[in-house]
Amino acid sequence: MPRLLFALVAVAAALPAGEPPAPKSPTDAEFSALCRRVQAKLDDLRGQADFPGVTVGFALADGRSAGVSSGLADVEAKTPLKPTDRMLAGSVGKTFVAAVTLQLIQERVLGLDDKLERWLGKEAWFAACRTAAT
């Protein structure tokens, strides 16, 4: 235990006191150059992996944000993908649903053994999904 305490004190002593300096905001020209670099990297990655299209968004500490896209929204019609086009999130949504569900179970809003029908059964689309799953 004394070694752990000594290590923690040593780490704390090495940290700067007070607030860390605010990151320097890029100029408009630097921001534009950053967007071009992200665009070039995205185009390069899409060319190497050969997928139809991809969109990337990013935000800076100063609040500015940008979206960049590469490829096609519709391969057959050769429609270019725009950063504002909607994209499917894929399986990443399952992580968010699981986290919120567990939080609601902890808050006793949901029960771990509740059937989906209890909460979604009255939705018009629920019966169709249930029929398609069987």
What secondary structure does DSSP assign to 32-45, as a single string? HHHHHHHHHHHHHH
Which band of pLDDT confidence, cut at 50, 70 and 90, is reported for residue 31? very high
Neighbours of 43 (CB within 10 A): 15
Question: To the nearest whole number, what is the mean pLDDT of the chain?
Answer: 84
Looking at residue 3, what is its pLDDT?
54
Q: Which two tokens stand for residue 16?
A: 């700067």
Question: How do residues 73-112 score in pLDDT, each as one tens digit?
Answer: 999 999 999 999 988 877 888 899 999 999 999 999 999 9
Express each pLDDT in 51-71 by its tens digit.
899 899 999 999 999 999 999
